[in-house]
């Protein structure tokens, strides 16, 4: 039987803007990787990424939503709790962006996924009517390569009738098996609220697993410290002189 661990509730509504960075190198400079855990949101322009972030954080305009795709080119960082962050990556696949820029973006995104050690989860948002396009797949392959679990959200699920929605979900779950990695596919709608609970739980799980790991390694460190203390006491005690003779 699968063991289910409930992780502490995260108050996503407390999320606030922290910084913007033009690329991953700037991000490393301003936000040292040791300083926390990050979950990144990525998707093609217009996939519904900003709407999803706003819905998750119950804020109307935390991440700007736009009818003009391709506007957000910065990496935006939001802090949910100290050391727990959401990263809004620039949308990709926008037709009007020059090729050189697209390639530059792809390179820096690949680097980000593979090198940013604080990144513990990736949410990939795809319009349910256009799922798993080339760049989406590329991104997921990079994440799997870097051992980062993926939550793939089929956004704007309200655009399909219930039957078509379910059929697409099952079909996409089957397709996702080809990645041979940790890729969970779910329906999502910022408009109707589908999948918001799943998104919350998944991110809480990623944050929580990291906390658990940290707690364990701190315990180990405590034990080491205790050992040192004992050694110290021994040195001060009369027995220490005997022992060293
Ligand atoms: N019907 C519907 N429309 C949505 C949903 N989420 C986003 N949209 C619309 O899709 C467009 C792009 O959304 P946005 O969040 O700005 O996408 P982004 O470019 O990925 O950040 C906007 O016009 C949104 O109103 C949804 O769940 N349902
Ligand atoms: Mg956006």
The pLDDT tens digits for 55-85 are 999 998 888 766 555 555 678 899 999 999 9
Q: Where are the domains of the chain?
A: 12-227
Does domain 12-227 fall under CATH 3.40.30.10? My reply is: no
User: Is residue 191 lining ligand 1, measured as CB closer than 6 Å?
Assistant: yes
Q: Which residue among 65, 130, 159 has the greatest number of ligand 1 atoms within 8 angstroms of its CB, and so is best to mutate?
A: 65
Could you report the per-residue pLDDT of 165-222, keeping only the tens digit for each?
Answer: 999 999 999 999 999 999 999 999 999 999 999 999 999 999 998 777 777 766 665 5
Question: What is the number of the ligand closest to the CA of 191?
Answer: 1
- Of 99, 100, 72, the C-alpha closest to 87 is 72
Residues shown for the chain: 245
The pLDDT assigned to 240 comes to: 39
How many CB atoms within 10 Å of residue 206?
Answer: 23
Which pLDDT score is estimated for 237? 41
Question: Going by CA atoms, what residue is nearest to atom 9 of ligand 1?
Answer: 48
Reported as half-sphere exposure (CB side, CA atoms, 13 A), residue 227 has a value of 6
- pLDDT category of residue 232 using cuts at 50, 70 and 90: very low
């Amino acid at each position: 039987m699968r063991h289910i661990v409930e992780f502490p509730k995260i108050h996503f509504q407390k999320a606030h803007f922290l910084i913007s960075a033009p690329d991953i190198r700037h991000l490393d400079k301003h936000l040292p990787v040791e300083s926390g855990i990050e979950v990144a949101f990525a998707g093609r322009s217009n996939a519904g990424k900003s709407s999803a972030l706003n819905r998750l954080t119950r804020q109307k305009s935390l991440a700007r939503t736009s009818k003009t795709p391709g506007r957000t080119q910065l990496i935006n960082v939001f802090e949910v709790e100290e050391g727990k962050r959401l990263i809004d990556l620039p949308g990709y696949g926008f037709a009007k962006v020059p090729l050189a820029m697209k390639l530059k973006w792809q390179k820096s995104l690949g680097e980000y996924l593979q090198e940013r050690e604080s990144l513990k989860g990736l949410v990939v948002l795809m319009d349910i009517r256009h799922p798993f396009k080339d760049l989406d797949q590329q991104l997921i392959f990079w994440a799997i390569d870097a051992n980062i679990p993926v939550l793939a959200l089929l956004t704007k699920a309200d655009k399909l009738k219930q039957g078509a929605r379910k059929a697409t979900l099952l079909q996409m779950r089957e397709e996702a098996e080809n990645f041979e990695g940790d890729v969970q596919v779910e329906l999502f709608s910022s408009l109707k609220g589908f999948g918001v609970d799943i998104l919350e739980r998944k991110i809480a799980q990623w944050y929580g697993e990291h906390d658990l790991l940290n707690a364990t390694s701190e315990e180990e460190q405590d034990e080491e410290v205790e050992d040192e203390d004992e050694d110290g006491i021994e040195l001060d005690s009369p027995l220490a002189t005997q022992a060293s003779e």
